[in-house]
Amino acid sequence: MRTDCRYSGNGTHAVGIQRRVKTMARVGVITFLHNHNYGSSLQAYALQRVIRKMGHDCVHLDYDPDRREKVLNLIRTRNHPKLILEGLRKKQVLTDQAGARRKRELFSAFYRDHLRLTERCRNQKELRAQSRDREILICGSDQIWNPVWLNPAYFLTFAPKGTVKAAYAASLGIRRRPAEEKVRQIRRWTADFQNISVREEEGADLLKEMTGRQADVMPDPVCLLTAEEWSGLAGPPPAGEPYLLCYFIGENRQYWEKAEALRKETGCRVIVLPVTAESYAEADQRHYSLMDGAGPEAFLGAVQNAALLCTDSFHGLAFATIFGTETRVLRRYREEDPESKNSRIDHFLRRLDARPLPVQREEGLRWLRSCLSETEKE
């Protein structure tokens, strides 16, 4: 069901209002939107839905930087060119797959039907224009603060003067202190934030070390909605016998050896949600079913109804936990890898032992209510 259409942030609905009792904040959110990633799209949906359920006016800034903006960002943040080349290589591989176009179309339809979006923003100037009438800007969640690919836009550097700035469950994705130049950038870009929460304890410790600021630790936005709420969005399950669902973000031959062992152990057929070129190749070689060109709703339905999920994905694990789906988590990185992001999953499992999801959910909702209440003034 379509819930909203695009929103133009021209501020006209606020003109002439001199004094009022505040019951609603005008909120803008920025996060990853155009990477066609299930976790990214669904955490964006969850955060906007929660904020709107609280009675606030919330839109996502539809940020999709153009080529010039990407090059400028590469120069500003000293990101290594190999990151860009690797990203382009993976994008080309997936573009060559038959289901890639269908997947892009389904993600676009998901955003159109389930998110309020501003006009498309290609650079910081356009972000500033679209956020002019927003009283509070929130960045998050996901790995928007990962030092490997810093982008000042995700630190709200475009925010108009006087705007309340907050981060909700931003993830740094790493454990180790980055290069000093990036430390200085993060310190400068977070200096004027009124409220900061991060997703992992390691991220809070690292941020404290780099900036001196103590961030709260809050759950990923997908954990703010209940299993019942997600079920209402989920698509139908794949037809047929019980299945083992493979959803791998990384490429690792051992993943598939593990999946084959689980297939023999459980007797389940295997369905692959492909992300990498390896996923396509292994599914073809092993005669596994391929769930190609699936949108966010189909992803939810596949995870919810799987007999077993085998994944290296943070959000794959998060949704399996929400739905109560049995899971085998595989580690994507070697522990000695300086760019390892294993801490995201380690933290999730560790925190789950100490705080059940309902407790974490209430903590996250309470934090957001407190953050949004700061705009309740004349």
Which tens digit of pLDDT belongs to each residue from 123-174? 999 999 999 999 999 999 999 999 988 999 999 999 999 999 999 999 998 8
Computed from CA positions of residues 345, 350, 351, 356, in that sequence, does the dihedral angle turn out positive or negative? positive
Residue 175: its pLDDT value, please?
84
Residue 76: its pLDDT value, please?
64
Residue 82: its pLDDT value, please?
54
Which residues of the chain, if any, have pLDDT below 50? Answer: 1-21, 88, 91-92, 95, 340, 377-378
Domains by residue range for the chain, with CATH: 25-225+357-375 (3.40.50), 228-354 (3.40.50.2000)
For 237-250, the DSSP string reads PPSSS-EEEEE-SS
Question: Residue 96, Cβ neighbours under 10 Å: how many?
Answer: 10
β-pairing, 57-60 vs 26-30, is parallel
pTM of the model: 0.88
Residue 214: its pLDDT value, please?
97
Taking CA 364 as the corner, what is the angle to CA 339 and CA 348, rounded to the nearest 5 degrees?
35
How far apart CA 21 and CA 376 sit, in angstroms, is: 8
Residue 13: its pLDDT value, please?
35
